[in-house]
Every structure is written in C-alpha cells, then in structure tokens.
C-alpha cells in the first residue's frame, strides 16, 4: 500500500445487544473483512474496540451511541485506524497492544499499553491479555452486561463461501465454515502451550455466551462451550 490510506467501505452500526453495537467493514479487499465493536458504558460514553475509520459525517452516528472514552487497539494486526479516533476524541484513553504500540505512538499520543487496564472499567468491560504467544499480543475483552466475549484474531467464524485454492487453504487452516482458532494460529503464534492453556482457562472463567469475532459471523449464543470445544480439538486446552 502506498500513499495515503483510503477509508475502506463499511456498513451501519447495528445493535447486537443492549449497549453493544457492531459495524462491519471491508479490509484490504480480503474475504476476511473486519468488525468494530462499540460498548455504551454506564457513564454514557463508549468503549471502542478495533476502530474502523469513518467518513467525517458518520462520526455523529457513533456519538449517538456515546462519545468514545476508551479506544482499544487489540493486537499487532488491528490497530491501523485507532489514531483517527484518538485525534478526534483526544480526551479518550487510547490503550494499545504491545505489538502495535510503536507504530501507533508515531501517529498520536498513546495512554497505555495493554494489558494495563482502566480499573474503573473492569466492572463493565474486563480485559485479559493472551499469554504464551509470540508476536500477536492480543487482548480479549468481556462485556459483562451482554455476556459477550470480544476476540480479534484468536478465533475465526468464517461462514463465507471460499472458492478454489482459497477454499483448500481455508480448510487446511481450519477456518472454512468453522468457529475456532486457525491452524496457522497454532503453528505460528503459540510459543508456550502450558501458558496458552492457562490463559484459555482464565477466559473460560468469564460467563460469556455471545462471541464477537473480527473475521466472520457473530456467534449469538453457546460461545463458551464452543470456545472450550474448539481449543480442546486443537489440543490447546
């Protein structure tokens, strides 16, 4: 990619559950796409996960949900647009993955590196950084009120029809119409199996039902059991 990054196409904010909104967008013309999540907090402000840059006139739609108070860049791969939000909402706290901290800090002030967390927020949205992995530096989030787990690249739920070679590759990668971690994830990012397994057990202490993924469909219910099943199938739990 050269020159100024253009704003990628995106849809409308959809209310997924009370105080939980998602907006889906295209991502680098790939089948994977991406998803931003906005949680309305008790303060009336919002928590913005995996920010997607909007056209100027569309920020009013976000502000109707609530003005951003906390902006999160959740892992090394998905922090490209967070600085647009920090510049527009300078009072918001921008908390970024360790993997993306350097590149984002060149673009705007960064208020903290995950898993450093806004403790006042923990009773509404909890945060846990994935352990035992290399490079990815992903943090997971749990919105207690809607019992929703927010993941970025740790789990896929691609229900699209991959074609030809893409389909063969998706099958091998265990992401063809399947909820769970990819084979690449296991091969590339897992460094310390025991630490990963302990981390996954911590995640399972959260009482989530819905899982919002970055790549693929939102899983509305049964998420905790499928989470457990998909990681145990891969021998990681």
Residues that bind Fe ion (CB under 5 A): 77, 153
Please answer whether residues 95 and 117 qualify as being in contact, where contact means their C-beta atoms are separated by less than 8 angstroms.
yes
**Residue 24 vs 153, nearer CB to Fe ion:** 153
**Residue 78 vs 93, nearer CB to Fe ion:** 78
**Residue 41 vs 230, nearer CB to Fe ion:** 230
Please report how close the Cβ of residue 78 comes to Fe ion at its closest, in angstroms.
6
**Residue 69 vs 153, nearer CB to Fe ion:** 153
Please report how close the Cβ of residue 222 comes to Fe ion at its closest, in angstroms.
23
Q: Could you give the CA distance from residue 97 to residue 89 in angstroms, rounded to a whole number?
A: 19
Please answer whether residues 155 and 144 qualify as being in contact, where contact means their C-beta atoms are separated by less than 8 angstroms.
no
Cα 194 versus chain centre, distance: 23
Q: Could you give the CA distance from residue 160 to residue 59 in angstroms, rounded to a whole number?
A: 29
Please report how close the Cβ of residue 89 comes to Fe ion at its closest, in angstroms.
24
**Residue 92 vs 151, nearer CB to Fe ion:** 151
Please answer whether residues 138 and 74 qualify as being in contact, where contact means their C-beta atoms are separated by less than 8 angstroms.
yes
Please report how close the Cβ of residue 153 comes to Fe ion at its closest, in angstroms.
4
Tokens matching residue 155: 């789990």
Query: Where are the strands (E) in the chain, listed by range?
Result: 14-17, 20-25, 34-40, 46-49, 68-73, 93-96, 112-113, 125-129, 139-143, 148-150, 156-158, 178-180, 210-212
Please report how close the Cβ of residue 205 comes to Fe ion at its closest, in angstroms.
25
Closest CA to 46 of 27, 76, 23, 75: 23
**Residue 5 vs 120, nearer CB to Fe ion:** 5
Phi and psi torsions of 146, nearest 5°: -100, 5
CA dihedral of residues 1, 73, 27, 90 (deg, nearest 10)? -80
Cβ-proximal residue to Fe ion, closest one: 153
**Residue 121 vs 158, nearer CB to Fe ion:** 158
Please report how close the Cβ of residue 50 comes to Fe ion at its closest, in angstroms.
9
Q: Could you give the CA distance from residue 12 to residue 65 in angstroms, rounded to a whole number?
A: 12
Please report how close the Cβ of residue 74 comes to Fe ion at its closest, in angstroms.
10
């Amino acid at each position: 990619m050269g020159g100024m990054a253009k704003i990628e196409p995106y849809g409308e904010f959809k209310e997924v559950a009370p105080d939980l909104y998602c907006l889906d967008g295209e991502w680098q013309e790939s089948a994977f796409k991406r998803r931003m999540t906005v949680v309305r907090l008790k303060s009336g402000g919002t928590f913005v996960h995996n920010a997607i840059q909007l056209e100027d006139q569309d920020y009013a739609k976000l502000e109707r949900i609530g003005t951003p108070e906390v902006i999160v860049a959740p892992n090394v791969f998905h922090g490209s647009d967070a600085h647009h939000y920090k510049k527009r909402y300078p009072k918001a706290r921008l908390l970024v993955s360790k993997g993306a901290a350097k590149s984002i800090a060149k673009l705007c002030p960064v208020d903290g590196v995950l898993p450093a967390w806004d403790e006042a927020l923990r009773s509404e949205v909890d945060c846990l950084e994935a352990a035992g992995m290399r490079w990815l530096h992903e943090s997971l989030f749990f919105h207690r009120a809607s019992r929703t787990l927010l993941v970025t690249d740790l789990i896929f739920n691609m229900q699209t029809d991959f074609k030809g070679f893409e389909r063969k590759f998706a099958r091998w990668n265990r992401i063809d119409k399947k909820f769970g971690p990819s084979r690449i994830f296991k091969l590339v990012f897992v460094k310390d199996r025991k630490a990963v397994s302990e981390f996954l057990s911590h995640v399972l202490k959260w009482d989530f039902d819905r899982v919002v993924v970055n790549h693929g469909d939102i899983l509305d219910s049964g998420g905790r059991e499928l989470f457990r099943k998909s990681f145990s199938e891969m021998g990681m739990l």
